[in-house]
Amino acid sequence: MVFSSLIFLYAFFPLSLLGCVLCRTKAQRNTVLLVSSLIFYAWGEPVYVLLLMFMALTSWFCALRVVAGQTQRARKAWTALACVIDVALIGFFKYAGLFCSIFGPVPPFIARIALPIGISFYTFQLMTYVVDVFRGDAPAQRRYRDVLLYAALFHQCIAGPIVRYKAIGAELFGEAPAKNEWAPGVSRFCVGLAKKALLANPCGALADALIVPNPAADGVAAAAEALKSQSVLGLWLGVAAYALQIYLDFSAYSDMAIGMGKMLGLHYPENFDYPYTAHSVKEFWRRWHMTLGAFFRDYVYIPLGGNRRGALRWVGNMLVVWALTGLWHGASWNFLLWGLWYFVFLLIERAFLGRALEKLPVVRNLYLLLVVLLGWVLFRYSDLQCVAAVVRGMFGANGNALSSFTALTMAKNKVFLLLVSAVACTPLVKRLGAKLDGRGSRAWTAVRYGAIPAALLLLSTAALVGDSYNPFIYFQF
């Protein structure tokens, strides 16, 4: 089940929300949320809900042992055990095939292992829970069901944002009454839905038409040949559409998760801050998937020593962080290279390029967009033949034409979609809304929290009717 499915929009979520509203206490509300979350997860993967429950069980038990530990050594041992179990399980289900491929053909039983949806997200959340209990930043929950709810909460279990227990524990389990924000929550949810249904999905369809999707192993040669024959305009247009799709798709999920949380008085952290408006790779990653960046900073980079132990150690720490960032996104070598792609540019910016870019306001944004667009090509294709075909073709090095009738026609037909999508990647609409909010107009308040969400919901529903398959991109991670 996905947020952008009609069954979720008009059956599952309204019933879950109604059940929560009818509850008189947080304990009753949390029971409804837990049952709803397990049903939501089991809807697509009834077997792997047991994996989620087991991982939550081990984290709950280890956290209790951490608190009960008589010595620092014992506390560290239980924390390490929880992390080892989590890493081992995600390693088996997500990376066993990649590991086996180093030594030869992947065994059939390994190749048949399905990736549990959302495992990268709830694994990190459970690890932060135990580590924060060890650090004294979060209390250990006495009830297993509470840890399970934290990990399985359907608003953000599947594709984030990555929510730390210490950030949401009080709102979930504290005695203070929930501060439901209905109007902002509904508005944020509908904006996210519209970004997905009206912008991300059409941009994805355009990208697939111009730059073929990631091919299966037996179709790589044909895909590479098709990409080589695509015009320069077609490739740039396709890559740009794919870049728009990724941002709009992933940020839409976060918007919807944050909106649903606000309706129940739960405040999830922001995950995006208009990253395509950044002026450097360093700034881009401060704005893109911010909860993932915060995880690697606080639980990997800083514990490794950060930048406190000399330049050489800093480079090594950065290498580890960006290799893990790439691999977190997928069990394929192209994702590792994608992470290292940004590692290289971060080193270059620190060495000299960052200072030079500060003096070139327009050039620095164009530089960032070029780096990101080429990075998305590496992100899209698991086979480097396709990556090379696209990158070479973008600069006419395949002997391909500068333009074609198909590419020109698509560019003309989709110009409005691309313009609106590009604007949605900037803070222009947000700033306009903030100015209108500042005037305190009741009419604008009614439009913002009434007419606009209703219109977006109606248009999104119309777009989703008949669209039977529109998963969020980050579901695969």
Alpha carbon of residue 122 to chain centroid: 12
CA angle at residue 398 from 397 to 402, to 5 degrees?
80
At residue 175, the 3 state secondary structure works out as: coil
Q: How far is CA 301 from CA 84, 135, 323, 464, in A?
A: 18, 16, 12, 42
Q: How far apart are CA 125 and CA 158, in angstroms?
A: 12
**Contact assessment for residue 250 and residue 474, using Cβ atoms and an 8 Å cutoff:** yes
Q: How far is CA 254 from CA 134, 258, 285, in A?
A: 29, 6, 16
Cα dihedral sign, 289-290-295-296: positive
Q: How far apart are CA 433 and CA 266, in angstroms?
A: 23
Q: How far apart are CA 86 and CA 290, in angstroms?
A: 22
Q: How far apart are CA 273 and CA 304, in angstroms?
A: 27
Which of 155, 279, 289, 329 is catalytic? The answer is 329
Quick check: is 267 catalytic? no
Dig out the tokens for 31 from the structure: 């029971």
Burial string for 337-352 (b: 16+ CB within 10 Å, else e) reads: bbbbbbbebbbebbee
Q: How many CB atoms lie within 10 A of CB 248?
A: 26
Q: How far apart are CA 175 and CA 172, in angstroms?
A: 9
What residues are labeled active site? 329
